[in-house]
Structure 1
């Protein structure tokens, strides 16, 4: 594929999925921007857990999408939702998601954020089960559909999956909070039903402990990364007031994090597939850098759109005069380039050490993108308010 073809593919396939994921991400951002002060005052522990939850779902399900893609190309998975491996992977993903978020909650409590701690635990557990079920089948569906239509799943699935996670995560958390405050009985009933659903699906999938151990490497990775995400969580909790003061960054925060993760995940997924197929001979092979450059050409468009969307939402919801954040528009492509180079380098090094990039690189990149993205948002907030 020539460089021109890569550029056309970036604008024809990746950019539409990136823009769509951006729009989806702003749906969650709208909820966060609207309820940020309420969460800060009544449920501060959620701010510590939130980046980890967002990153975790990107880690688990982007990795699942990349794994499905590789399995489809190698003929190990039938392009059908009825394949037993689909349900197995969905159940395993649900289990992989629950344990780390519970640990995040526990660490938040140990660190002293105990206000409404018990309620926060079940807000996190209930929402994780429901979102993981929806996101698991969405991941399988979008990957299989893309493959059946001769569209590269690696270019399409990762951004949509990560953004669908953002779409569901924050509104679901807010929904559980509002349900708790409106009716405690309904809240606890829904949590009980969610746990029962998990047990039923686990039984139907016939996933046994020995099969779960096959994902030990992925589980260890995402659990360690969930702990690492506490950097983002405590940073968000500490600087939430500063971010809220800029207004637009409160709305843009989920989309900024997910878009950086999307750029990294696309490059990591493409690199993983090409390495498994033997199409990258050395680190300085020309093709992966052409892929990065082609995708980088879409970044200025994304930076402008983030500005426009966040300013528009702030105007519609709060009646504030729109402001174009030049600080964000100028620096966004540079940050996207850094993320993509990091994603390629990490995927290549891991593969050379016989570590599956699908199971390790994509989760690590998504997590690190959240950390980098949170620090980036704080830095932009400081520039915007002159702090």
Structure 2
């Protein structure tokens, strides 16, 4: 009898275990199915929260990027039609990315400083003559002269090292400096106007001013280079060229010495900006070297030449928005200068990735449609949009971490982000953008046998 009771007890326990297992299994399956079905809701909720939280930022930044894309498109169209200049002046392509980047770096930083001074009351919205305004204007002009000459020497050096056919050092220097001065005459008042308007309308300069200033820099640099080439061609005498060459170098050196000895804001700007901009110039010329190394591919596919300023400009704008926002967050204490991304940093990463997914297909489309309208040989919408999107997402994925590291390390070491983060970040972007765009272009063109 005891054995039967024990047996029945065992059977009940076994059934209890089996029933418990079945019930728990169904509960587990139910929860998993419920979770799977809730994923769209969770994603939708996250996106809804993300868009609600960042709506103003996305709207301002996307509008700025579209405005910049129009400016970069004109620059691309000019470059796409400069094939005769590039053939007649070998090595000229080496200096173009550096010259474009230099304009954005110098005047983007100027716009950032002017906006800051307007907000804290050191400058009046009327931009009346004052010491701080004069120092900012003179600093920008001195930096333009010094960097233009440095770009020319770097470009000639790159051509010699890699065996590129090129124009003389004197021609490089005269074209670079004349183009710098011509574009500065336009960029200075424009930068002041953009800074003032962003201040008056309550726009966030992190999202508006820097990208728009950079776009105008892209737009006016190439026409300035063409005009500089025409001016240099008027100097038919070799002796006259050498006299002008020596004279402008002396003027640039004396101006720089004057700025350093003047002290105050001018000394601070020149001391902090010059080393950074020299590094940026090197990176810009390196980008030009990448492009010049693929000059035959670019000349055979002018729509790719049209895409180069668009791709480089919009990539630099995305990076400058991120750099400016991270710098502002560091100053405001919203994030700490640590090497591990925090919640605010990750949200800013998400903003840039979302904008990148929107803007890269658009600029590929713009490059191709402009080529068709101007009867320039194109690649077709699908190939060029694919090139732009794939290269863009790859580039931005790398640049998110680079900008984050530059922002955190510069702030941690007591450097002014207005003079450090955006110039270095955008210059690294210029260099990597050329390498990424050319590599992806060659890969896709070879796959499509174009």
The verdict on a shared fold, with TM-score over 0.5 as the criterion, is yes
1:116 CA drift (Å): 4.9
Relative to the length of structure 2, the TM-score reads 0.75
Superposition pairs of residues 180-219 of structure 1, within 5 angstroms: 180=232, 209-211=262-264, 212-215=266-269, 216-219=271-274
- Relative to structure 1, is the Cα distance of residues 286 and 129 closer, same or farther in structure 2, using a 3 angstrom cutoff? same
- Relative to structure 1, is the Cα distance of residues 349 and 306 closer, same or farther in structure 2, using a 3 angstrom cutoff? same
Supply the distance in 1 between the matched residues of 2:369 and 2:168 (Cα, whole angstroms). 34
Q: Which residue in 1 is equivalent to 2:208?
A: 156
Q: Among residues 104, 116, 134, which one is paired with 1:87 in the alignment?
A: 134
- Relative to structure 1, is the Cα distance of residues 377 and 175 closer, same or farther in structure 2, using a 3 angstrom cutoff? same
Q: Which residue in 1 is equivalent to 2:346?
A: 289
Contact 2:337 2:412 in 1 (8 A): no
Q: Among residues 255, 258, 283, which one is paired with 2:313 in the alignment?
A: 258
1:47 CA drift (Å): 1.5
Q: Which residue in 2 is equivalent to 1:298?
A: 355
Q: Deviations over 1:242-291 (max 9, x none)?
A: 22333321101011111111111111112222222222246433123212
Superposition pairs of residues 199-348 of structure 1, within 5 angstroms: 209-211=262-264, 212-215=266-269, 216-281=271-336, 283=338, 284-318=341-375, 320=377, 323-324=380-381, 325=384, 326-348=386-408
Supply the distance in 2 between the matched residues of 1:81 and 1:207 (Cα, whole angstroms). 24
Supply the distance in 1 between the matched residues of 2:435 and 2:53 (Cα, whole angstroms). 31
Q: Among residues 104, 112, 117, which one is paired with 1:66 in the alignment?
A: 112
- Relative to structure 1, is the Cα distance of residues 319 and 126 closer, same or farther in structure 2, using a 3 angstrom cutoff? closer
Contact 2:153 2:169 in 1 (8 A): no
Decide which structure has the larger Cα Rg and report it.
2
Say whether 1:127 aligns with 2:182: no
Q: Deviations over 1:187-222 (max 9, x none)?
A: x9xx99xx8xx99xx8xx999632442120211110
The structure, 1 or 2, with the larger RCO (C-alpha pairs under 8 Å, 6+ apart) is 1
Q: Which residue in 1 is equivalent to 2:27?
A: none
Could you list the runs of 5+ residues in structure 1 that have no partner in the other structure? none
Superposition pairs of residues 165-184 of structure 1, within 5 angstroms: 165-178=217-230, 180=232
Q: Give the superposed CA RMSD.
A: 2.8
- Relative to structure 1, is the Cα distance of residues 243 and 7 closer, same or farther in structure 2, using a 3 angstrom cutoff? farther
Query: How many residues are paired up?
Result: 373
Q: Which residue in 1 is equivalent to 2:71?
A: 24
Relative to the length of structure 1, the TM-score reads 0.87
